[in-house]
Structure 1
Amino acid sequence: MPSCHPCRTPVEPGAKLTSHGPPVKDLTLYRSLAGALQYLTFTRLDILYDIQQICLFMHDPREQHMHALKRIIRYIQGTTDLGLQLYASSPSTLVAYSNADWAGYPSTRCSTSGYCVFLGNNLLSWSSKRQLTSYRSSGKAEYRGVANVIAETC
């Protein structure tokens, strides 16, 4: 898609992927593109969550998933100058950030938590994953996210 029109965002605002709709015509192409984009997430953290959502449907992709995947490619086409920057600096401080999306996954109502850990100006570690249980409050989802980043920092 070298001559595609770039997008300003990797996904449509408020869009949620479901398992409904017609299946993808070329399953191999979908899996190949999704797999290739997974490697790009090592340096493009801005698409990490979006690629994770695409890969949730790797076993049974639908046309809406292929459209979402193509939109991510269009976003990448317009933002080729973005990416993970590594700086030569003396590591002085260890800083960790955590966040959670309470009950954000519509079919299971499970939360998604994520964190990132910096040493100086350089990103050391990051994670974004769907939690296995649904919590009754956003506080418990946030607590689980904080517990994950503390374990990673230790």
Structure 2
Amino acid sequence: MPACHSYRTPIEHGANHTCHGPLVKDPISYRSLAGALKYLIFTRPDISYGVQQVCIFMHELQEQHLHALKRIIHYFQGTTDLGLQLYACSPATLVAYSDADWAGCPTTRRSTSCYCVFLGNNLLSWSSKRQLTPSRSSAEAE
């Protein structure tokens, strides 16, 4: 897809991928491409949420999931110069950032949390996790 136009974001804002729609005719190529994108997360953490969203529906693939996967590829077209970089002369200050939400995933209603740790300008560690069980409010449980 070298001549495709690029997108500014890897996923569409407010996209709600559900399990309603026509099924993908060739799920093997979809799974192969999604698996390859999972390896790119190591050097491109900006796509980790988008890849996680397209991998949720690996066993019930629909056309809308294929379009979301293609959008990530289009995003790469305009961001080939991005990625993790290590700088030789950076200040030796340790800084950490974290974020969390409650039931933020509109499809699974699971909470997500993430963090990243920098030593100077170099990213040392990062994580983005989705809660194992759906979140429920106390009013809903009663």
TM-score scaled to structure 2, two decimals? 0.87
C-alpha distance in structure 2 between counterparts of 1:23 and 1:114, whole Å: 32
Q: Mapping of 1:48-63 within 5 angstroms?
A: 48-63=48-63
C-alpha distance in structure 1 between counterparts of 2:32 and 2:121, whole Å: 33
Unmatched segments (≥5 aa) in structure 2: none
Q: Tell whether 2:38 aligns with 1:14.
A: no
Q: Mapping of 1:1-154 within 5 angstroms?
A: 1-89=1-89, 92-133=92-133, 134=135, 136=137
The runs of at least 4 consecutive aligned structure 1 residues that moved more than 3 Å come to none
Amino acid in structure 2 at the alignment position of 1:62: Q
Q: What SS does structure 1 have at the residue aligned with 2:65?
A: helix
Please list the CA deviations of residues 32-80 of structure 1 after superposition, one character each: whole Å capped at 9, or x if unmatched. 1101111111111111111111111122221111100001100111111
What is the percent sequence identity of the aligned residues? 74
Please list the CA deviations of residues 87-108 of structure 1 after superposition, one character each: whole Å capped at 9, or x if unmatched. 1146723221111132112243
> How large is the RMSD of aligned CA atoms in angstroms?
1.8
Structure with greater helix share of residues: 1
Does the C-alpha gap of structure 1 residues 8 and 107 become closer, same or farther in structure 2, counting only changes over 3 Å? closer
Please list the CA deviations of residues 102-132 of structure 1 after superposition, one character each: whole Å capped at 9, or x if unmatched. 2112243211111111122211111111112
Amino acid in structure 1 at the alignment position of 2:64: Q
TM-score scaled to structure 1, two decimals? 0.80
C-alpha distance in structure 1 between counterparts of 2:13 and 2:41, whole Å: 20
Does the C-alpha gap of structure 1 residues 96 and 135 become closer, same or farther in structure 2, counting only changes over 3 Å? farther
Q: How many aligned residue pairs are there? A: 137
